[in-house]
Structure 1
Amino acid sequence: MKKILSCALLTLALSVTTLAVAQEDASAPIDINHASIEALTELPGIGDVKAQAIIEDRDANGPFASAEDLTRVKGIGEGTAQNLDDRVTF
């Protein structure tokens, strides 16, 4: 019984640690110039259509240098770009 309880506590501790690491990674900035469509859709205000437009724009026009450059993507205005400024890297 003591062994089962120890295993259960270890499993719980590992689960909490894994969850904390996953949450920390979720808040890490996303490299807008290399991110997949799945990663881009994790950004606030960016759905599948805008994520695809970001990828198409960077393929056609080269990398983004700043959040302001994102306004060259159809559907992304200055407000969205400002909201993303601390969530992305270049």
Structure 2
Amino acid sequence: MRKLSALLLVLLSSVFFSGLSMAAPQAEPAAPAAAVSQKAVGTEGAVNINTADASLLQQELKGIGKVKAEAIVAYREANGPFTTVDQLLEVKGIGKAILEKNRSRLSLE
């Protein structure tokens, strides 16, 4: 009985102490993404449609999912920066209703 108790104590101790020696890897902060987000969202909370990535557009704008956000970025890459907010109407999937829902959240700078 003593041998069994001693063996059990050794096994439990080794399991406990082996778990302590393993440190979880620390994630490094994503500075470039944070910098883009700060640049793409102005001080008033407006989203800069000329610098925001698809993820930010999807996150910050009403009625904009992954496909529409990617379409906005693709349009911008193909045609250059937006010169007016109304130019979003030229993006496939963006209509007047979506534009009006988000007009106060959009910026060009």
The TM tier, using the shorter chain, reads 0.5 to 0.7
Larger of the two Rg values belongs to structure:
2
TM-score (norm. length: structure 2): 0.55
Per-residue deviation, 1:64: 1.2
The 5 A counterparts of 1:12-51 are 28-42=45-59, 43-51=61-69
Per-residue deviation, 1:51: 0.4
Runs of 4+ in 1 over 4 A off after TM superposition: none
Please tell me whether residue 76 in structure 1 is matched to residue 94 in structure 2.
Answer: yes
How has the CA–CA distance of structure 1 residues 81 and 87 changed in structure 2, closer, same or farther, with 3 Å as cutoff?
A: same
TM-score (norm. length: structure 1): 0.66
1:4-57 residue CA offsets vs partner (Å, 9 max, x unmatched): xxxxxxxxxxxxxxxxxxxxx8x7111100001111002101000000000000
Structure 1's unaligned 5+ residue stretches are 1-24
Structure 2's unaligned 5+ residue stretches are 1-41
How has the CA–CA distance of structure 1 residues 84 and 66 changed in structure 2, closer, same or farther, with 3 Å as cutoff?
A: farther
Percent identity (aligned): 40
How has the CA–CA distance of structure 1 residues 82 and 67 changed in structure 2, closer, same or farther, with 3 Å as cutoff?
A: farther
* Number of positions where the alignment pairs a residue of Structure 1 with one of Structure 2: 65
Using CA pairs below 8 Å that are at least 6 residues apart, which structure has the higher relative contact order?
1
The 5 A counterparts of 1:55-70 are 55-70=73-88
The residue identity in structure 2 corresponding to 1:71 is L
